[in-house]
Amino acid sequence: MNFLEQAFGSGDYMPHGYCYLWNAHLVWLHVVSDSLIALSYFAIPVLLLWFVRKRRDLPFHWMFVLFGVFIVACGATHVMEVWNLWHADYWLSGGIKAITAAASVSTAGLLAYVAPKVLSLQGLDQLVQAKSSLEQEISDLRNDELRSLLREAAYRDQAALLDITHDAILVRDLQSKITYWNRGAAILYGWSREEAGGRISHELLSTVFPAPVSEIEAQVLSTGSWDGELIHRKRDGSTIIVSSRWALETDDSSKPIAILESNRDITGSRRAEKRFENLLESAPDAMVIVNHAGQIALVNSQTEKLFGYERKELIGQAVEILVPASRRSAHVGHRSGYSQAPHPREMGEGLDLHGRRKDGTEFPVEISLSPLETEDGTLISSAIRDISKRREATEKIRNLNSSLQHKIDELNAVTSEMESFSYSVSHDLRAPLRHIDGFARILKEEHAAELSPEADRYLTRVIDAANRMGTLIDDLLSLGRVGRREMTLGRVSLDDLVRQSMADLPPGTENRVIEWRIEPLGEAPCDSGLLKLVFSNLLSNAVKFTRTRQAAVIEVGICKIKGTPAYFVRDNGVGFDSKYADKLFGVFQRLHSQQDFEGTGVGLATVRRIIQRHGGKIWAESELDRGATFLFTLAATPGPSAPQEAEVFKSNGR
């Protein structure tokens, strides 16, 4: 504790500033000078340390470390000088000076010990000089033999490297005798290095050249290299296509000495290319393949046919040759835009695209684009389809549609005419009937005294006729309404409809014996109001035409006909002759006299109209006097088609 107090406490000593009588100039002179000295002393060892680390080879590098410590200690004493101007830590300052002294003495001593050894080291200059004289000696050895030895040594060194590549590499002298044959060549062709060495390469490989061999050799000799495709025969007899590169080896006096040949088997990619070309040819569309610069790289024969150019006229041309003149400049922009981020898509969606033939005529096209990754970079493949025919067809359909629309408009006009017609029938034709009936009745009832029996009978005829015409008009209007009414389809319980229809039967059956055989019919998708009319008509007919029977039997049931449910109403009434079956459902068609069975001949026409609107069929089977069966189906395929039909009728309705 005591020591620490002495070291760090100010104790009773005066700060050093008092010695300078706190003369500001003097104090600052000391402060600035000591600070700068300390900073420099601290910087020097950092630089030394960096130097030592970089030059690991430096001899006596521990000397530099020691020297660094010595200088740091010196710097520390100067820091203390500044400190002690205001604080009186003289013990601490003295301690640091003692450490500095120790470092200084050691450094000096060691330096004295090392200096003689350092002197004995040779200088760098001397080394450099020795090297250049040695090089001079080597370059002096202008001896061909030595150089060729060196070259062979180089081949041997490279041989290991050459063996790694998959390419077949061979060196042959100017007489085509093989002097080097790498592992790749042995694998590709099937002959080992020993077997191939000394053989004439063209004979060994049965080389087929793309040009006379003399021309190729002349080119190698004059330009130093040749590139091309060769066909070689392997040891197993199979032939391959190789991409071949030849390079001429010369000696220092540029005298040719050997040819280095590197061959790569491209048979596979050639076949792939061939396949690709076949694919291109078999495409139904004109295929135009364009490189990144917009030049046509490949076309198929459909392109030739479509645009009227020959293949060779197109290859290498800007693709705009196929674009109408007015669109060319814009096309260049679009094309480069597409090349930035190519992805498969339709070209110019929603636009009218046109192609231009060689003869200048233009035709509408549809184009789909897709990028094609190849060794030569990304190509753009475009499939071009002539859509003139489709355009024509579309145009035709449009015309048909518009004429259809016209027909529909006409039909709507007719329908609305029909409506006003039936309205006036309903309103105006009934009025005179009422008058005829009304006044005839007044005559008959209130003026009976003035009428002869014959006149009275005639008046009865007048009244009957008027009423019958009233019924006819009502039935006709109801038939018209059935045809026009909007259908609302839903799942309807047919059993409910049968029950309601039976309850609504016309009066007059109270005293009759009728046996009802009602089978459950289930539900069906239909318009309940209209189907109710069907059952009402069929049941009231059955009741009417069994009137002459002692015991009438009326059946309602369901059966299946070709998988479709068919509903039937059967009676044991008077029936009809089946040869008139087709007349049964016509408007105003009757098979019985008014005297025997009253009726307007509209009821079954109405029924048929309703069944037709439901997409079903109705027919009847009978024999004269042996009852009749009326059968009907609803929509042939219930479900989806039913609402669609409702749609159709809706649009045709009012």
Partner 1 sequence: MDAKPIEILLVEDNEADAELALHALRKSKLANHIHRVQDGEEALDFLFCRGPYSARSFDNAPQLILLDLKLPKIDGLQVLQQIKTDARTRAIPVIILTSSKEERDMASGYQSGVNSYIQKPVNFADFQDVVRQLGMYWLLINSKPPASAFGRA
In angstroms and rounded to an integer, the radius of gyration of the C-alpha atoms of the chain is: 59
Q: How far is the CB of 442 from partner 1 (least distance, A)?
A: 7
User: By the 8 A CB rule, do 619 and 631 touch?
Assistant: yes
Task: Kindly tell me which of 8 and 439 has the beta carbon lying closer to partner 1.
Answer: 439
- Residue 197, φ and ψ in degrees, nearest 5: -55, 130
Strands 523-526 and 490-493: antiparallel
3-state DSSP call for residue 630? strand
List, in sequence order, the alpha helices (H) in 20-60: 24-54
Look at residues 525, 536, 551 and name the one whose alpha carbon lies nearest to residue 604: 536
User: By the 8 A CB rule, do 242 and 230 touch?
Assistant: yes
Strands 552-561 and 514-518: parallel
Question: Could you give the C-alpha distances from 267 to 10, 93, 115, in angstroms and in order?
Answer: 95, 88, 75
* 48-87 residues near partner 1, rule: CB under 8 A: none
Q: How far is the CB of 649 from partner 1 (least distance, A)?
A: 17
Phi and psi based region of residue 380 (left: phi greater than 0; alpha: psi -120 to 50; beta: remaining):
beta
Task: Kindly tell me which of 147 and 435 has the beta carbon lying closer to partner 1.
Answer: 435
Q: How far is the CB of 400 from partner 1 (least distance, A)?
A: 35
Q: How far is the CB of 599 from partner 1 (least distance, A)?
A: 17
467 binds partner 1 (CB under 8 A): yes
Task: Kindly tell me which of 469 and 624 has the beta carbon lying closer to partner 1.
Answer: 469
Among 190, 470, 557, 653, the residue binding partner 1 under the rule CB under 8 A is 470
Give the pair of three-digit tokens for residue 526: 């239909």
Q: How far is the CB of 422 from partner 1 (least distance, A)?
A: 8
Q: How far is the CB of 437 from partner 1 (least distance, A)?
A: 5
Q: How far is the CB of 464 from partner 1 (least distance, A)?
A: 10
Task: Kindly tell me which of 97 and 444 has the beta carbon lying closer to partner 1.
Answer: 444
Q: How far is CA 440 from the centre of its chain?
A: 84
Task: Kindly tell me which of 66 and 433 has the beta carbon lying closer to partner 1.
Answer: 433
Q: How far is the CB of 483 from partner 1 (least distance, A)?
A: 14
Task: Kindly tell me which of 261 and 437 has the beta carbon lying closer to partner 1.
Answer: 437
Name the β-bridge partners of 3: none
Euclidean distance between CA atoms 296 and 242, whole angstroms: 26
Give the pair of three-digit tokens for residue 581: 């079956």
Task: Kindly tell me which of 420 and 595 has the beta carbon lying closer to partner 1.
Answer: 420
CA atoms within 13 A on the CB side of 183: 9
Element housing 488 (H / E) = none
Q: How far is the CB of 459 from partner 1 (least distance, A)?
A: 12
Q: How far is the CB of 478 from partner 1 (least distance, A)?
A: 10
* 414-453 residues near partner 1, rule: CB under 8 A: 423, 426-428, 430-431, 433-435, 437-442
Among 169, 466, 538, 628, the residue binding partner 1 under the rule CB under 8 A is 466
Number of shown-chain residues binding partner 1 (CB under 8 A): 19
CA 47, 53, 56, 62 dihedral sign is positive
- Tally of residues, the chain: 654
Q: How far is the CB of 434 from partner 1 (least distance, A)?
A: 5
Task: Kindly tell me which of 285 and 437 has the beta carbon lying closer to partner 1.
Answer: 437
Euclidean distance between CA atoms 647 and 487, whole angstroms: 9
Q: How far is the CB of 424 from partner 1 (least distance, A)?
A: 9
* 138-167 residues near partner 1, rule: CB under 8 A: none
Locus of tokens 């009588």: 21
- Residue 375, φ and ψ in degrees, nearest 5: -65, -30
Longest dimension (CA), the chain: 179
x-or-dash pattern for partner 1, window 238-277, by CB under 8 A?
----------------------------------------
DSSP 174-235: TT-BEEEE-HHHHHHHS--HHHHTTSBHHHHHTPBPSS-HHHHHHHHHHHSEEEEEEEEE-T
Locus of tokens 């898509």: 345
Euclidean distance between CA atoms 301 and 600, whole angstroms: 74
Task: Kindly tell me which of 390 and 461 has the beta carbon lying closer to partner 1.
Answer: 461
From 330-338, 464-472, 490-498, 545-553, span contacting partner 1 (CB under 8 A) = 464-472
Q: How far is the CB of 499 from partner 1 (least distance, A)?
A: 25
User: By the 8 A CB rule, do 492 and 531 touch?
Assistant: yes
* 299-338 residues near partner 1, rule: CB under 8 A: none
Q: How far is the CB of 443 from partner 1 (least distance, A)?
A: 11
The DSSP call for residue 518 is E
Task: Kindly tell me which of 327 and 468 has the beta carbon lying closer to partner 1.
Answer: 468
Look at residues 446, 445, 432, 483 and name the one whose alpha carbon lies nearest to residue 612: 483
3-state DSSP call for residue 595? coil
* Contact residues: partner 1, CB under 8 A: 423, 426-428, 430-431, 433-435, 437-442, 466-467, 469-470
